[in-house]
């Protein structure tokens, strides 16, 4: 089977800027086999702690993404319910005004018993016509009353539903705030550990990250076809983002977290998929064998399903891996994350 190497980015200046950004972020490589031996015996322990904090931050990010998606849905539902309730209230007010007019007309015409009114009337035929009209009016009033009561109940139900959704929205917004604090706390802890290292150690870690990016540029993917045109289109969109920085909660077009990249890429292909890795794990057709994956299939990683990327071919994943890193290709075997299953869309 023929193979190809992924071409380097066309803009050298842009790549240099991103490399500087990665070095400043002092991110860690997820490919320990590429790291140089470190002289400090405690360094490995510090690096493991930082790796764990980054992993916990990305896991919390997916929960944040889920809460954010839920908040957006609730906001739309609340707006729709409130808008519908307002329209129905307006119709209810008009109906109430009509009922008032009917009641006033009956009051003006109904002061005497109908038989007495007929006896005293100077125009019996005219009175009988008027009485028939009032009888029809009474039937209309009953129908209007029934409509009024029905609409009143519907408006009340919609207001109650909107109130319930608003309560859920308030709770979800609180969850968003809590997850944001958790993520920022994890990243701050990681940065504190990094700051405690020597300048040489930090430079070595930054070099490991740059080495991972250079390895991505040399990734050999093969030329296997995708399983569908939409998967091919989404994968092509994701490939155009190689070199873009990881930013938690970001969904493009210039920065991404893991599920932000996959959802954005499928959006470019005209396909709407859920925002979080856990939700993406439950869509499409599940592919249990790594060997059965095609380029453009989603890869679900970690036992809690908190990471997702694209299968790129030849045992490679295209993903936005972690804080401080860039969208890149990596060996699935060396990613440090267990493969759970693939998803074909």
Residues designated catalytic: 258, 307, 319
Q: Going along the chain, which residue ranges are E strands?
A: 285-287, 298-301, 307-313, 316-319, 328-331, 339-344
Please tell me the distance from the alpha carbon of residue 210 to that of residue 325, in angstroms, as a whole number. Answer: 9
Query: Which two three-digit tokens encode residue 130?
Result: 């008027």
Please tell me the distance from the alpha carbon of residue 307 to that of residue 58, in angstroms, as a whole number. Answer: 8
Please tell me the distance from the alpha carbon of residue 222 to that of residue 149, in angstroms, as a whole number. Answer: 69
Q: Could you say which DSSP state residue 333 is in?
A: G
Radius of gyration of the CA atoms of the chain, in A: 33
Judge if the upstream peptide bond of residue 42 is cis by omega within 30 degrees of 0: no
Query: Which two three-digit tokens encode residue 285?
Result: 């057709």
- Three-state SS at 245: strand
Instruction: Give the angle 299-7-31 at the CA atoms, nearest 5°.
Output: 50
Are 269 and 316 spatial neighbours (Cβ–Cβ below 8 Å)? no
Best CA proximity match to 61, nearest among 249, 195, 199, 251: 249
Best CA proximity match to 31, nearest among 340, 330, 320, 339: 330
Is 218 exposed, middle or buried (CB count within 10 Å of its CB: 0-12, 13-18, 19+)?
exposed
Region of 263 please: left (phi>0), alpha (psi -120 to 50) or beta.
alpha
Are 65 and 174 spatial neighbours (Cβ–Cβ below 8 Å)? no
Are 55 and 322 spatial neighbours (Cβ–Cβ below 8 Å)? yes
Q: Could you say which DSSP state residue 248 is in?
A: T
Q: Could you say which DSSP state residue 113 is in?
A: -
């Amino acid at each position: 089977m023929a193979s190809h190497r992924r071409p380097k980015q066309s803009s050298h200046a842009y790549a240099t800027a991103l490399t500087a950004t990665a070095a400043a972020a002092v991110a860690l490589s997820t490919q320990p086999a590429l790291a140089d031996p470190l002289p400090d015996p405690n360094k490995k322990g510090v690096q493991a702690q930082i790796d764990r904090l980054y992993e916990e931050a990305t896991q919390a990010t997916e929960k944040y993404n889920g809460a954010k998606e839920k908040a957006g849905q609730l906001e739309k539902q609340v707006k729709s319910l409130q808008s519908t309730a307002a329209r129905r209230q307006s119709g209810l007010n008009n109906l109430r005004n009509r009922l008032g007019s009917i009641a006033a007309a009956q009051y003006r015409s109904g002061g005497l018993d109908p038989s007495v009114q007929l006896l005293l009337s100077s125009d019996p035929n005219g009175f009988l016509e008027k009485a028939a009209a009032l009888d029809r009016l009474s039937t209309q009033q009953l129908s209007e009353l029934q409509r009024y009561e029905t609409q009143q109940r519907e408006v009340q139900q919609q207001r109650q539903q909107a109130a319930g959704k608003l309560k859920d929205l308030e709770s979800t917004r609180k969850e968003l705030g809590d997850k944001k604090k958790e993520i920022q706390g994890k990243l701050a802890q990681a940065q504190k550990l990094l700051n405690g290292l020597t300048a040489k150690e930090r430079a070595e870690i930054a070099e490991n990250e740059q080495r991972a990016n250079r390895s991505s540029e040399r990734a050999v993917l093969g030329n296997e076809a995708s399983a569908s045109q939409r998967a091919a289109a989404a994968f092509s969109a994701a490939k155009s983002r190689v070199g873009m920085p990881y930013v938690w909660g970001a969904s493009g077009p210039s920065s991404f977290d893991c599920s932000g990249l996959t959802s954005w890429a499928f959006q470019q292909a005209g396909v709407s998929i859920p925002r979080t890795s856990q939700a993406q794990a439950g869509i499409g057709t599940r592919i249990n064998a790594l060997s059965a994956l095609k380029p453009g299939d989603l890869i679900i990683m970690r036992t809690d399903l908190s990471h997702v990327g694209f299968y790129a071919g030849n045992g490679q994943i295209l993903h936005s891996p972690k804080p401080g890193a860039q969208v890149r290709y990596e060996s699935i075997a060396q990613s440090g994350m267990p493969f759970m299953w693939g998803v074909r869309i």
